[in-house]
Amino acid sequence: MNTPTSPARYATVDAPRSLELRTEAGTAEPATDGVIVAISYCGVCATDTHGYTSGGLIPPSVFGHEWAGTIAAVGSDVVGLSVGQRVVACVGPACGTCPQCLAGFTENCDTSFAEANGVTADSPAHGGFANEIAVNARRVLPVLEQLSDEQAALVEPTAVTFHAVKRVNQRLGAFVVVQGAGPIGLLTAQHARHAGAGRVVIVEPNEARRAAATALGFTEVFAPGAEFSAYVFASSNGLGADVLYECTGVAQLMQASAELVRRGGTLALLGYPGTTSVVSYPDWQSRELTVVGSLAYNHEDFTGAMLAIASGAVDVASLHTRTVGLDELQSVLDELDTGTSADAKVLVDPRR
């Protein structure tokens, strides 16, 4: 039996640095293959800040993509999901019919990738900065019982970083450098540690974020500069890092990051620069660097992320620094855009 929902209220970007809170009258009905989710929390990430400052240069459903909630209504063709279940936003399993799947590359399914980027024909009309959202049933995954609602709201960025560390396939005992200690960097560092890194060195200019890294048990935490670079080489017998996870997305750091990696090592790219990067192709080639790009995730990464949280291997609760209501979202985005905020992860609770 479906639970009646209240009129939809959601935030949308209507111009650069301008939000509009819209309300749609009436009761939403799910598509036959869809569900309606009452949002509990939605995390704010750098992609949301970019969408806000750019005036909406991301798909509407991506503005507020880190959501979790409870199923309020289920379409007639949906099986395996029921009203009252807690779920997180995710992407569906490999479809089996797209060109990538038919060629045997199911880990690169075009359908799942399009879902992750909000460009499928059935993508929601808005994201999770809302009291409810109507989505295809492929796009939700039941929450493990051990997770709180707040932890569930942090599954999506945990899946992003789980996917990246999985793609690198770092060796046991690896000397790892994580560049950037925002939420993505701190989650990446924890996954790298969980994956058997011998040591994890973190570099971050923001003092509050360095403190957050230390609170998570990382002891080799530095501000950028000559001391940090010297430490990396001194600690590796002059070689450099086995793996460097670049989590800042600052284009100017690309070559400098590569130069911290040992010959034959791996540069893993998680941050997403908005501008072109200039690198030394001969340097990368002559040192035989492996470069691993990572964007979004696969369906199974969400299961791995939830298990990592439930086991305690990855602590997301400490990243949650503040909860606000929909009416406070614009001021939070303005603050986060300054780059000086002490917040790690802000959650939006539309019930406030």
Q: Are residues 140 and 228 in the same domain?
A: no
Q: Are residues 244 and 343 in the same domain?
A: no
Q: Are residues 42 and 145 in the same domain?
A: yes
Phi/psi-derived region of residue 217, left when phi > 0, alpha when psi is between -120 and 50, beta in every other case: left
Give residue 339's domain range.
8-154+316-348
Please check whether residue 251 lies inside any domain of the structure: yes
Please check whether residue 123 lies inside any domain of the structure: yes
Residue range 266-291, pLDDT digits in tens:
999 999 887 888 999 999 999 999 99
Q: Are residues 339 and 274 in the same domain?
A: no
Tokens of 324: 């606000």
Tell me how far apart the alpha carbons of residues 192 and 294 are, in angstroms, rounded to a whole number. 15
| pLDDT per residue as tens, the chain (352 positions) | 566 556 889 999 999 999 999 998 767 889 999 999 999 999 999 999 999 999 988 999 999 999 999 999 999 999 999 999 999 999 999 999 999 999 999 999 999 999 999 999 999 999 999 999 999 999 999 999 999 999 999 999 999 999 999 999 999 999 999 999 999 999 999 999 999 999 999 999 999 999 999 999 999 999 999 999 999 999 999 999 999 999 999 999 999 999 999 999 999 999 988 788 899 999 999 999 999 999 999 999 999 999 999 999 999 999 999 999 999 999 999 999 998 888 899 999 999 9
Q: Are residues 19 and 137 in the same domain?
A: yes
Question: What confidence score (pLDDT) does residue 8 get?
Answer: 87
CA distances from 154 to 19, 61, 63, 184, 352 (A): 23, 17, 15, 11, 19
Q: Are residues 177 and 267 in the same domain?
A: yes
Residue range 128-144, pLDDT digits in tens:
999 999 999 999 999 99
Q: Are strands 220-222 and 199-203 parallel, antiparallel or unpaired?
A: parallel
Tell me how far apart the alpha carbons of residues 103 and 111 are, in angstroms, rounded to a whole number. 14
Q: Are residues 132 and 236 in the same domain?
A: no
Phi/psi-derived region of residue 288, left when phi > 0, alpha when psi is between -120 and 50, beta in every other case: left
Q: What pTM value is reported for the model?
A: 0.95
Please check whether residue 177 lies inside any domain of the structure: yes
Q: Are residues 328 and 190 in the same domain?
A: no
Please check whether residue 308 lies inside any domain of the structure: no
Please check whether residue 51 lies inside any domain of the structure: yes
Please check whether residue 304 lies inside any domain of the structure: no
Q: Report the number of distinct structural domains present in the chain.
A: 2
Q: Are residues 165 and 277 in the same domain?
A: yes
Tokens of 200: 């994890």
CATH number at residue 280: 3.40.50.720
Please check whether residue 301 lies inside any domain of the structure: no
Please check whether residue 299 lies inside any domain of the structure: no
